[in-house]
Amino acid sequence: MALAGALAIAAVPATVLHAAAPTTAASATPDAVAAQQRTATEKLLKELDRQTGTIPIPAAKADLNLGDQYYFVGPEQSRTILVDIWRNPPAAANGVLGMVFPKGKSFVDDTWSAVITFEDTGYVSDDDAKTIDYNEMLANMKAADEEHAPEIRAQGYPAGILQRWAQAPTYDAGKHSLVWARDIKFDDMPEDSLNYDIRLLGREGVLSMNILANINQLDEVREAAKTFAAVGSFRSGSRYADYNSATDKKAEYGIAGLVAAGGAAAVAKKVGLLAILAKFGKFLLIGVVALFAGLRNFIGGLFGRKPAIEASEWEAPADEEKRD
């Protein structure tokens, strides 16, 4: 298997580690983390439930039409991949509805994968789509990542710092889809990570398909995203065009809020900030909510894929392991 690239790169709920006892990231020794990863990986490779065809996403009232070119992994096994194997903070997997991989590949291969979530924020207006300054937003998000990095490192996890737009945000008003890509540098990783975001707007919220890869796969993933972006669809009655302004909930932010805050919009909403910020207009919303961007590491906006052992060790013969 082509493991080296995937296990040496960076990649949004409760399963304990498949080891004798869970160990916190802050206190675990490298050997203990490696053992936990090895055990979780070997177990999941044997048990991985690959689902193809049309996959219902009840929480979003939507479907993923995967055909036989992709397969879906449910939320429990996705959590194992994200937390136990790829070493993301446990809260990073909260709300994850599943993951999608290309046919013939798995979480140990040098390939892209997609994390599926749904944000039940209500109808997100696209009125601001043509007036957003994405350069300014990028600067704010990078500053926020840098500000919150010490807190993340103190928890024993690698911090991720946004470097640039790998693809500037683009909104398709006809399909009500938003696509953008972030080049992210994680601590101690030899290559930057690529987070490719695809958001489909619906009547009651936003379906998120966050593609994970490394930055040198940008061209490959860009092409894959063009096809993969079309696999998601809301069901009749839950589509963007079905919105009824007289009865339906409306999100307190627009396209700018989706990109600037990402998952952090949910945090801001919980503490009541969005309602306050909405009174001061979208530009303040972009700047202030972006300060929460560092929390994306914990709630799904950024995912890491950090190995604890060399790729070759995954395939060590059983007798060699016993001698060790």
- Residues in the chain predicted with pLDDT less than 50, given as ranges, are 1-26, 263-301, 307-324
Give the Cα separation of 317 and 130 in Å (integer): 57
Q: By three-state DSSP, how is residue 111 classified?
A: coil
In sequence order, the 6+-apart residues with CB closer than 8 A to the CB of 151 are 294
Q: Does the model's pTM come out above 0.85? A: no
pLDDT score recorded for residue 227: 85
User: Which of these, 229, 202, 237, 235, lies nearest to 120 by C-alpha position?
Assistant: 202
CB 196, CB 211: distance < 8 Å: yes
pLDDT score recorded for residue 314: 39
CB 221, CB 112: distance < 8 Å: yes
The rounded mean pLDDT for the chain is: 75
Long-range CB pairs of 153-156 (<8 Å, 24+ gap) are 153/187, 154/26, 155/25, 155/26, 155/89, 156/24, 156/25, 156/26, 156/27, 156/28
pLDDT score recorded for residue 265: 36
pLDDT score recorded for residue 198: 92
Specify the fold of 4-318.
Protein Transport Mog1p; Chain A (3.40.1000)
pLDDT score recorded for residue 6: 24
